[in-house]
């Protein structure tokens, strides 16, 4: 098969490799669509190393067609499926206490297991028996099914901070994740949503996705604008949707009394951030992290997209064949795109 193989930081290329060899119960899927995640870019550039192997195949947001059922009665060849790509152990303390997304014994597709920037991907039997696979309804495209995973992560993050219809929300960053936060907050009926991003194209996308106001942080004071948009109170919820440490400090400046801050985006190893500890203390701010997704998050996000309560198709702005993986990554990094898909030719 052909696959985009990562051999070292900054080195990825199309190669012909052996087809995955399934163990008993494993399922093989022909990848029809895979989208590039910000984490894929961080791995490619060597800014994220945990769980990364060389050589390996990246890609964890995907959907495709079953070509080997692994003997599972619930599957047949040709089935259109998507996958929750994190496979928790199901036995540890974290899994048993409802935190399977934090399972330290789990494995993830695109990290410990070769991922979806390839013609064929192997799904371990454990993932199939645990219910990580979902059948796609006929009207659900492969590329939009690939977006279930990032939406599920966003759902996890918003659940952690209890985002509701009573909240004014500031989303810092309007990349793919920030835009998903905007759309989900709008679906949840947030009272007012303000999106901040220096990219004009992405600010326009934020307005189209449901933001009430957008801010260019290079041209205006974000704190002053958010205060103006919230009658001087500040935002009830502030979401850092891009991994820039300086935004952590900005988040404490933006938050209202009793506000909640989500450090949603991943940061590079060793990065530290300054926060206003007096603001946290005197304004009783709550700071939360958010990492990954659970099968429950995946299922709920899947249903949102399948029912078209959220139509994420406009987020995919660029599509490439696997043979143009370099162009796909370059476009994803450039800021010209929202979401970049690699499609089966």
163-196 residue pLDDT tens: 999 999 999 999 999 999 999 999 999 999 999 9
List the structure tokens of 139.
């009207």
Average pLDDT over residues 228-232: 97
What pLDDT sits at residue 330? 96
Burial label for 270, CB within 10 Å (0-12, 13-18, 19+), is exposed
Cβ pair 171, 241 in contact under 8 A: yes
| Residue 16 pLDDT exceeds 60 | yes
What pLDDT sits at residue 26? 98
Options 3.30.160.20, 3.40.50.720, 3.40.50.1370, 3.30.1490.20; CATH for 162-289 is 3.40.50.720
Fold of the domain built from segment(s) 2-151+293-343: Quinone Oxidoreductase; Chain A, domain 1 (3.90.180)
Within 8 A by CB and 6+ apart from 278, the residues are: none
| Residue 216 pLDDT exceeds 80 | yes
Average pLDDT over residues 249-258: 96
pLDDT bracket for residue 345 (50, 70, 90): low
Within 8 A by CB and 6+ apart from 20, the residues are: 1, 28, 114, 120, 121, 122
Tell me the pTM.
Answer: 0.96
Average pLDDT over the chain, rounded to whole?
A: 96
Cβ pair 54, 97 in contact under 8 A: no
Residue 66 or residue 275, greater confidence: 66
60-102 residue pLDDT tens: 999 999 999 999 999 999 999 999 999 999 999 999 999 999 9
Domain ranges of the chain: 2-151+293-343, 162-289
| Residue 225 pLDDT exceeds 60 | yes
Cis peptide before 157 (omega within 30 of 0): no
Average pLDDT over residues 140-168: 97
| Residue 267 pLDDT exceeds 90 | no
What pLDDT sits at residue 60? 97
How many other C-beta atoms are found inside a 10 Å radius of the C-beta of residue 11?
12
Average pLDDT over residues 280-303: 97
Q: What is the DSSP string of 210-237?
A: T-SEEE-TTTS-HHHHHHHHTTTS-EEE
């Amino acid at each position: 098969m052909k696959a985009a193989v990562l051999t070292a930081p900054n080195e990825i290329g199309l190669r012909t490799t052996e087809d995955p060899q399934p163990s008993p119960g494993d399922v093989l899927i022909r990848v029809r669509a895979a989208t590039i995640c910000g984490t894929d870019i961080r791995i490619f550039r060597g800014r994220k190393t945990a769980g990364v192997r060389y050589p390996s195949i990246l890609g964890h947001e995907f959907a495709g067609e079953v070509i080997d059922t692994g003997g599972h009665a619930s599957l047949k060849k040709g089935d259109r499926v998507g996958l929750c790509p994190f496979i928790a152990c199901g036995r540890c303390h974290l899994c048993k206490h409802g935190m399977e997304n934090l399972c330290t014994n789990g494995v993830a597709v695109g990290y410990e297991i070769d991922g979806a920037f390839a013609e064929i991907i192997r799904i371990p039997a454990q993932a199939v028996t645990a219910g990580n696979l979902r059948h796609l309804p006929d009207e659900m495209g492969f590329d939009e099914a690939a977006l279930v995973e990032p939406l599920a992560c966003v759902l996890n993050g918003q659940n952690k901070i209890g985002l509701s219809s009573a909240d004014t929300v500031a989303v810092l960053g309007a990349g793919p994740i920030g835009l998903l936060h905007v759309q989900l907050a709008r679906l949840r009926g947030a009272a007012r949503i303000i999106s901040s991003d220096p990219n004009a194209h992405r600010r326009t996308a934020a307005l189209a996705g449901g933001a009430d106001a957008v801010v260019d942080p290079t041209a205006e004071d974000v704190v002053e604008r958010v205060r103006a948009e919230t009658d001087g109170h500040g935002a009830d919820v502030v979401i850092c949707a891009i991994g820039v440490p300086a935004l952590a400090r900005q988040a404490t400046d933006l938050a209202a009394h009793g506000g909640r801050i989500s450090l949603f985006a991943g940061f590079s190893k060793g990065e530290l951030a300054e926060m206003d500890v007096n603001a946290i203390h005197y304004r009783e701010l709550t700071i939360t992290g958010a990492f990954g997704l659970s099968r429950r998050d995946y299922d709920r996000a899947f249903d949102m997209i399948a029912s078209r309560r959220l139509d994420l198709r406009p987020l995919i702005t660029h599509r490439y064949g696997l043979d143009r993986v370099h162009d796909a990554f370059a476009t994803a990094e450039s800021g010209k795109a929202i979401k970049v898909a690699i499609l089966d030719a």
